Amino acid sequence: MTDPLAALRLDPAGVSAAEARLLRKITADPTIVVDLAITDLAVLCETSAATIARFAQKLGFTGYRQFRFELAQALSRERGDRERHGLDEDDVLAEDDVQSVIAKVAYQEARAIERTAQAMDGAEVDAVAALVSSAARTDIFGIGASMLAAIDLHLKLVRIGAPAWCVSDVHLALVQAATRGPGDVVIGISHSGTTHEVIELLRLARAGGATTVALTNVPDSPLTAHADHVLCTVARESRFRIGAMSSRTAQLAVIDIIFTRIVQSSGDAARDMLRRTREIITGHNDAAR
């Protein structure tokens, strides 16, 4: 069954003006779908009942009735989760004390991992893991906070001797993407799926014949238009999002899952390499003491 809250992660640029109004209203307050009949929601959003029904189908539901029912169930589950964690509200508020902030941030990040895991496509995970395992080289690109996730995957792949690269200089990244071809894998990471540089890097790599992978929170985004494979996170940032928080946590969870599958499929060779590199680092640290 489609997760109604995850289904709302549509790129506003990819919908009609009427659908964009619906998306803004529902995303801001999903309870209006539960509370309002389709005709009342149409009046509130200045559109028609037919448009709302088509929008629900676009999200993956048979119609508004199913979307309304599934959204009510999802909101009820979230409310139950908050109650179990002792939270009336999961968003961080300006007046929250430190203990409330600790509880809310922990809840948000744990929830992001849980929802991401529930939504992951196992076949797509294994397809990406197999591609990286056999790639002539793998380039991982991210900008800003997503660069942290790109670096993490790069470090993991290097630990098992995989030919992987991750650069922070955009000009060098453009050159690398433009010179990738068949047999190469290029992974672009962008929470929003709208980061211009990452979109351009994936476009260039794909044009050269490389296999491209997008890791994003928005499956219907400009980034995924240039991806052969898409890995999705399900994360919602709080209003106090200064930098990536839940989104970064969800990205790292996906990377850990992909890497684990790579190590599993590589057998003893990868595990031996992990052991050797761990021993080298441990020996280096011991000698420096």
Every domain of the chain and the residues it spans: 1-83, 122-280
Please give the pLDDT value at position 13: 67
The SS3 assignment for 144 reads: coil
Orientation of helix 64-84 relative to helix 49-58, angle to 10° = 60
* Per-residue model confidence as pLDDT tens digits over 67-112: 999 999 888 888 887 777 777 777 778 888 898 888 888 888 888 8
Low-confidence spans in the chain with pLDDT less than 50? 1, 239-243
Please give the pLDDT value at position 2: 63
* Per-residue model confidence as pLDDT tens digits over 205-228: 999 999 999 999 988 889 999 999
The DSSP 8-state label assigned to residue 219 in this structure reads: S
Please give the pLDDT value at position 241: 47
Rg of the chain over Cα atoms, rounded to whole angstroms, equals: 21
Place of tokens 């389709």: 38
Please give the pLDDT value at position 237: 60
The SS3 assignment for 147 reads: helix
Report residue 200: phi and psi, to 5°.
-65, -40
Do residues 74 and 61 make contact, with C-beta atoms less than 8 angstroms apart?
no
Question: Which DSSP helix (H) or strand (E) runs through 185?
Answer: strand 184-189
The DSSP 8-state label assigned to residue 47 in this structure reads: S
- How does 206-236 read in b/e, with b if 16+ C-beta sit within 10 Å? beeebbbbbbbbbbbbbbbebbbbbbbbbbb
Orientation of helix 268-288 relative to helix 146-159, angle to 10° = 100
Please give the pLDDT value at position 3: 74
Please give the pLDDT value at position 242: 45
Please give the pLDDT value at position 288: 76
Q: What distance in Å separates the CA atoms of residue 38 and residue 283, rounded to the nearest whole number? A: 66
Q: State in words which class domain 122-280 has.
A: alpha beta
Residues listed for the chain: 289
DSSP letters spanning 244-269? -SHHHHHHHHHHHHHHHHHHHHHTHH
Q: State in words which class domain 1-83 has.
A: mainly alpha
Please give the pLDDT value at position 95: 86
Please give the pLDDT value at position 285: 84
Orientation of helix 170-178 relative to helix 196-207, angle to 10° = 20
